Amino acid sequence: MTDPRLAAIPLVGQKRLLPRMNTPLHHHVRPGIVHFMAYPVIKGEGPIIESLTELLADPFFEVIEISWIKDPAIRAEAKALIESSGVSAKYGAQPRLLTQGLDINSLDDAIRNRAVAEMKAGIDEAVEMGITDFGLLSGPYPGAADEAAAMDALTTSLNEVCAYASDHGIHVALEVFDRAIDKKCLVGPAESAREIAERVKATHPTFGLMVDLSHIPLLGESPAEALQPVKDHVVHIHIGNAYMDDTADPAYGDMHPRFGYPGGANDVPELVTFLEELFAIGYLNSTGTERAAVSFELKPVGNESPRTLIANGQRKLVEAWSQVSI
């Protein structure tokens, strides 16, 4: 039955003009930034302290996602910086897997065990940094013939990682990636994400999923198709762009170009739809009584400035927020 209160709301085409958000973004969202994507530090080296200092000085951000830092002295300095900023930190172990070609769902136990050991080392580093949220990704999709076996291997690995993490007070989240264009991961389409979440949460109920707006067009899904099947399992969100038109373009694939990149899949309209879906699944709270983290994952293309790229993202998010209807 149609809600009679909707009758007074005008229709534009087939969509009613619902009331837009009239409270500031930060009343509902804790904006974050993926440090190791915005700056060239993905291998655990580079301008780590300089770039962290720049990001942590930006009052827009309340969350920062860091990854491995190979030098213990730099880790200590980074920890002190984060603590002094009042910004919450999360640990992304994705670079530890991707840059070393590790596969956490390999059917070869020796390869799989090496990936699990690397994740445990990442958890140790997160503990050292005082971080309690840990993200990772599945390994490559092996093809339909081996998909079921790979899902079993991934379940085994994640249970081992979660057990180790639990002993250290760490919560684990698996990020959902594309399956056919760039990272070509096992997880994957929304149904595969739901399946693995249900399997692992049966033993480790704090396990969850991380969904990235950048990966949704790479999977050929809509925000609703990506989020609704996993609505009970989403614990973190990334927002960014993707480009799929020309394989010769440096932004092709899962490279997270700026919002508005020519030919890109995501800009303000897609951000609006995604944010509305986050309210629909309950990840964002319409009353503002709880605030959830939403982190930018953006990477410069060519000689683009990280700081300019980030400012662009902030402007786009604020613009999208003004158009959100819930």
Q: What is the number of domains present in the chain?
A: 1
pLDDT in tens, 154-167: 999 999 999 999 99
Q: Is 19 part of any domain?
A: no
Q: Is 299 part of any domain?
A: yes
Please state the φ and ψ torsions of residue 24, each to the nearest 5 degrees.
-65, 155
Domain interval for residue 28: 24-321
pTM of the model: 0.92
The secondary structure of the chain, three-state, reads CCCHHHHHCCEECCEECCCECCCCHHHCEEEEEEHHHHCCCCCCCCCHHHHHHHHHCCCCCCEEEECCCCCHHHHHHHHHHHHHHCCEEEEECHHHHHCCCCCCCCCCHHHHHHHHHHHHHHHHHHHHHCCCEEEEECCECCCHHHHHHHHHHHHHHHHHHHHHHHHCCCEEEEECCCCCCCCCECCCCHHHHHHHHHHHHCCCCCCEEEEECCHHHHCCCCHHHHHHHHCCCEEEEEECCCECCCCCCCCEECCCCCCCCCCECCCHHHHHHHHHHHHHCCCCCCCCCCCEEEEECCCCCCCCCHHHHHHHHHHHHHHHHCCCEC
pLDDT in tens, 91-139: 999 999 999 999 999 999 999 999 999 999 999 999 999 999 999 999 9
Kindly give the interhelix angle for 72-85 and 48-56, rounded to the nearest 10 degrees. Answer: 0
Q: Is 306 part of any domain?
A: yes
Residue 19 pLDDT: 52
Write the single-letter amino acid at 303: N
Q: Residue 12: which pLDDT band, with cuts at 50, 70 and 90?
A: very low
Residue 89 pLDDT: 98
Q: Is 257 part of any domain?
A: yes
CATH classification at residue 238: 3.20.20.150
Q: Is 12 part of any domain?
A: no
pLDDT in tens, 27-49: 999 999 999 999 999 999 999 99
Q: Is 7 part of any domain?
A: no
Q: Is 17 part of any domain?
A: no
Q: Is 241 part of any domain?
A: yes
